[in-house]
Amino acid sequence: MVAGRAGPRGRGPLRPLAGAVGPGLPQQPPSLRRGLVLDLDDGAKGVVGVDTRYHERAKAETPKPSNLRRYLEVAERSGAFTEGAIGTLKGRSELAELWLEHLLLLSMLQHTSGRWRWGRFVVVHPAGNSDYAELCARYRTLLEDQSTFSSVTVEELLDAGALPKTTVAALRDRYLPM
């Protein structure tokens, strides 16, 4: 199971995340509006944020300066980043958008309600999208704790046996025509 690598034990199916709103993070990126909720065995919730990148190319962005204090707070509290990584990520970079989307998930895990006990941000891209394959590899080198970030190719996802056969067939026809 691709998205569940080293994941928690859950009960019931994954279901869509309704209106993903990260606590205290303004301007939620569209990618985490596509998320899945998992009911964990202990009654808490898990969340998988899914960002699909089919044709997109990496481009430099700058995190919004007026929100930087909150971004840094979430990043530092998470313990997910290697020494010096946050200094790299807070400036203009091709990694900025990935970082902000990952921070949204991390902010959910830090929420005082304790509702979200487990989470992972997953970037899905075709094997042929070398920009995003390289971007994810670069981002991963900045992570001390990689348990909340993953990337997978569309091909790996479809070959994992985690989706219904009709869904796999439809996705192959649409995105991977022969």
Supply the pLDDT for residue 136.
Answer: 97
CB-side exposure of 160: number of CA atoms within 13 Å? 15
pLDDT in tens, 41-80: 888 889 999 898 888 888 999 999 999 999 999 999 999 9
Kindly give the pairing relationship between strand 116-125 and strand 35-40: unpaired
β 45-52/35-40 pair status: antiparallel
Question: pLDDT tens digits for 4-43?
Answer: 334 565 555 556 555 444 444 444 444 444 788 888 888 8
Indicate the SS3 state at residue 103. helix
In the chain, the N- to C-terminal Cα span, in Å, equals 25
| Mean pLDDT (whole number) for 97-113 | 94
SS3 86: helix
User: Quick check: 107 pLDDT over 70?
Assistant: yes
Spatial CA neighbour of 62 closest among 42, 92, 38, 87:
92
Show me where the domains of the chain are located. Answer: 27-175
In whole angstroms, what is the distance from residue 55 CA to residue 67 CA? 29
Measured over the CA atoms of residue 161, residue 165, residue 167 and residue 168, the dihedral's sign is: positive
Each residue of 118-165: pLDDT tens digit?
999 999 999 999 999 999 999 999 999 999 999 999 999 899 988 889
Q: Do 44 and 118 form a contact (C-beta atoms < 8 A)?
A: yes
pTM of the full structure: 0.82
